[in-house]
Amino acid sequence: MMNPISEEDFDPEHFEPLLSAEEKNRAWRGRVKPPKTLPTFGLKPKEIMEGQMIGMYESKQDIYLIMAHRCNDLQTQIDELRDLINKKK
């Protein structure tokens, strides 16, 4: 379902199923592994109200910022734990 293209024509590095050939020439962006921390440019998502499902009223930017801040917090915790473990060795 995620790959509507035949296996011989499929290139995971440049997969873009919804763009026509002309659109690919104008709007193509390469696929790369994201950085260790995600950019937020100092922006914060809007407040999440209790009882509200995330995504009901948020823009794509707010959903990205929620995910980016959580991922970055977790990455910081992981790095701190690694440092602590390495110091004990």
Q: What angle do CA 12, 14, 18 make, to 5 degrees?
A: 100
User: Which pLDDT score is estimated for 27?
Assistant: 67
What DSSP character marks residue 47?
A: P
Is the Cα dihedral 35, 40, 44, 48 positive or negative?
negative
- As given in the structure block, the two tokens for residue 87 are 């110091």
Q: What is the amino acid identity at position 17?
A: P
| Domain locations along the chain | 34-88
User: Which pLDDT score is estimated for 87?
Assistant: 93
User: Which pLDDT score is estimated for 10?
Assistant: 74
pLDDT value at 1 more than 60: no
88 in helix, strand or coil? Answer: helix
Please, which pLDDT band fits residue 56 given cuts at 50, 70 and 90? confident
- Ranges 24-33, 62-71, 80-89: which has the least confidence: 24-33
pTM of the model as a whole: 0.63
Please, which pLDDT band fits residue 43 given cuts at 50, 70 and 90? very high
Measured between alpha carbons, how far is 67 from 38 in angstroms, rounded to an integer? 9
User: Which pLDDT score is estimated for 71?
Assistant: 96
